[in-house]
Amino acid sequence: MGAKMQVPKKTGFEHTVETRLLMGTTVTIRVVSEAGHSKTSGSRRGQTADMHSAMGRAFAAMRFVEATCSRFSEDSALRELCRHPGETMRVPAALFETIRLAVEMSALTDGVFDPTVGGILESHGFNRHYLTGEAADSDIMSAEPVSYRDITLDEKEGTVLLHKPMLLDLGAVAKGLAIDLAARELADWDGFAIDAGGDLYVHGMDFTGEPWTVGVQHPLSKDAVICWLQTTDVAICTSGSYERRSPLANEIHHLINPLTGESVHGLLSCTVVAPLAMLADAVSTAAFVLGAKRALDFVSGLDLQGLCIDETLDMTMTDSMERYLK
């Protein structure tokens, strides 16, 4: 969902590609090397092996985030935390950081973005595990309204306290963190692109020795691109209403305003460019949920670049976004 890589024709650069199913989507990693030989073995065959080894570590980092932060897995650290309301729990650093950023984004939007929306998503039928298709109901019920204000974080101790029963949903943050951790494993290569269902991080050069070219998906045509961006060493993440629809009611999509409990309408997609995927992912979601009138001002206020497409297919963007247009 969101952005598409433009894959150049084969050149003299060494490159390799791997695709795996992770985090509810298809993840593709491309690695590029200008050297033409392995950093370790000095051979072309060795270089290919090195590339696959690095990609294996990158995928493993993403799988760790998924196993830690997924609300769909009974065994995840997130579900374990949600099973202990009222208790101060020490959690893995990856989970702590995703909750911390989600809470910060909630405060910036006065609760329009809120990680406690998991229960509302479940009630709308967004409770199917992407691998098995089986319902992953949490059975976590709250007798009273909850919000990010009911979460206390202790950064020094790495602990989280949920003051009320709640189901956290960190999908708007965790995928970005997974991309960022994968990028660390690939940092030594001349170029790479991580594409997690249209949420991207690009580094260095593409297969032609140029900055990467990325297409923003047309929100009404899955195989079409509405505009092209050219850039490198940034994350590009899109939040859109066109991919995930409730099995209970087609007019409901997964981008919910927790203050109303309903889907947000007015925009079809919001794309954000940021130094980190975790930030781009969270801000694109927050901007979408804030709505068409507030989205770009919110993005600009964070000194990031944004592009929004409304329900009439009118495309607007921050002034700083224009430099990426190809």
**Bridge partners, 309 (sequence order):** 269, 315
Domain interval for residue 124: 74-170
Domain membership flag for residue 86: yes
Domain membership flag for residue 109: yes
Domain membership flag for residue 151: yes
Taking 70 as the threshold, does the pLDDT of residue 11 lie above it? no
Q: How many domains does the chain have?
A: 1
Which pLDDT score is estimated for 3? 67
Long-range contacts, stretch 40-49, CB < 8 angstroms, 24+ apart: 44/14, 47/14, 48/14, 48/16
Q: What is the CATH number of the domain that holds 91?
A: 1.10.3980.10
Domain membership flag for residue 306: no
Domain membership flag for residue 141: yes
CB contact set of 324 (below 8 Å; sequence gap of 6+): 229, 230, 231, 273, 305
Task: Return the number of other C-beta atoms located less than 10 Å from residue 134's C-beta.
Answer: 10
Q: What is the pLDDT of residues 209-259, one digit of tens each?
A: 899 999 999 998 888 999 999 999 999 999 988 777 666 767 776 788 888
Domain membership flag for residue 63: no
Taking 90 as the threshold, does the pLDDT of residue 34 lie above it? no
Domain membership flag for residue 81: yes
Domain membership flag for residue 89: yes
Quote the pTM value. Answer: 0.90
CB contact set of 149 (below 8 Å; sequence gap of 6+): 111
Which pLDDT score is estimated for 38? 45
CA distance 297 to 295: 6
pLDDT: which is higher, 160 or 128: 160
Q: What is the pLDDT of residues 89-101, one digit of tens each?
A: 999 999 999 999 9
